[in-house]
Amino acid sequence: MILINLDYQGRIPIYEQIVSIIERYVALGILKPKEQIPSIRELASNLGINPNTVKKAYDILEQKKVIITISTKGTYISEKTDEVLEQKKQEELEKLEHQVELLRNLGVTDQEMIALIHKKNKD
């Protein structure tokens, strides 16, 4: 059973939220290679949303080679999860860069930012 929390209010469409949550779970190793994931209908009913929405998410994930659907058998996590992880890392590191840049423009020093990283580590 996968834990998926959806935000129905924000601007990010449901199907996209599903995509990124599953991607993250794969990157984190919570979902492992060759593992089977819920069918479209099952997940849809669990989340209380329309199957078309889940279908769209699975289509995108398949296109991104994160999952593989085998007709009549089910849907499985791809075997090459390393690549997914690596790609995800790069994406998120880029976001970090932007955020650092933005904060520097607001007058926040490197020291403050580094301190925040260290502090966070102790939590």
Partner DNA sequence: GTGGTCTAGACCACT
Partner DNA sequence: GTGGTCTAGACCACC
Applying CB under 8 A, the residues found at the interface with a copy of itself are 8-9, 11-12, 24, 27-28, 63, 68-71, 73, 85, 88-89, 92-93, 95-97, 99-108, 110, 113-114, 116-118, 120-121
| In the complex, minimum distance from the CB of residue 105 to a copy of itself, in angstroms, rounded to a whole number | 6
Contacts (Cβ under 8 Å, ≥6 apart) of 53: 14, 15, 18, 44
Query: Mask: binding to DNA, 37-66, rule CB under 7 A, as x and -?
Result: --xxxx------xxxxx-xx-x--------
Residues comprising the chain, all counted: 123
Q: What is the DSSP letter of 77?
A: E
Distance separating alpha carbons of residues 73 and 111, to the nearest angstrom: 54
Q: Kindly tell me which of 25 and 56 has the beta carbon lying closer to DNA.
A: 56
Chain position carrying tokens 């190793």: 29
Q: What is the DSSP letter of 88?
A: H
Q: Which residues bind DNA (CB under 7 A)?
A: 11, 13-16, 39-42, 49-53, 55-56, 58, 69-75
